Structure 1
Amino acid sequence: MNSQPDTRNKYFNLYKENIGKILPDSSPFINSFREPAIEKFLELGIPTRKHEAYRYTELNTFFSLDFKNYFIPGEKDFIKAEEFRCDVADLDTHGLVLLNGFYPTISDKLRRLPGGIWIGSLNEAAKEFPDKIKDHYNRYTNGNNDGLVHLNTAL
């Protein structure tokens, strides 16, 4: 049985139910890609084994699971993540914690490290450095025939 149309509808409904939560806190630039991406996902659907990149991967196994959706983290999630520290004596590091794809911090959404390196939220970087993000964001997916790439962009 091919559950691809059902899976496509499931994720389209997930998009419709949550896009109102996602848009207000995202940068307008990143948001500008969401609707075209979900339309392309609806056209392409979930790749099958006929798609070369998934030739040996049965995606229905993963998409049949009932994952919990997590679109907007709460402040308590950020506090818990900020408390995490990797304290190893004599180890000079910069810790980076991601919480379900979010850079979880309340006060420091972008941080500059020595050597001109920036770490932080892609969304905040799009607001702070729009020209740098525009040079690369979604630039490498144009013409991509992988529905999962477009689903990821939409959500």
Structure 2
Amino acid sequence: MSEITILVLEDEPEVRAAVVRDLELFTSTFHIEASDEADDARAVIGEVREAGGEVGLILCDHLLPGLRGTDFLIELNNDPATASMRKVLLTGQAGHEDTIRAINDGGLDHYITKPWTVDELHAVVKEQLTEYVLTEIDDLLPYVNTLDGPRLLEAISERGWDR
């Protein structure tokens, strides 16, 4: 089983730490990495892939130094190596046009406004990672207790246990 990473891209240290803290529920099954700028996030994605893992989900702020989050999500969506990554924009700053671009061109899977609630963040992360493992991972069993167990068990039943 290759390790799946959740990547948090947020330039504000306090917000980044809060997101990582709120993702603690998922650390038994997923690795969490945090970056404060797009260049660092690119490096993390490369390191994860070189180690045989994959980034399954990115939670990305919009206002970042040097590059807007929506532009980074578009970049990820246009790269075949990262296109399947689930993409969540976590921001209070994206305007209507930026959000539309992120949806249409960046393959945005969800939008969370700041401030978020822990329950909302957990629900979105659970939903997005469930979608990711259903489409990208053959062995779903390790994810049943952390993600949407009934959906994963149904998929296991449909696929067969030996897959």
- TM bucket, shorter chain: under 0.3
Query: As a proportion of its length, which structure holds more strand?
Result: 2
Q: TM-score, normalised by structure 2?
A: 0.26
Which one has a bigger Cα radius of gyration?
1
Higher relative contact order (CA 8 A, sep 6+): 1
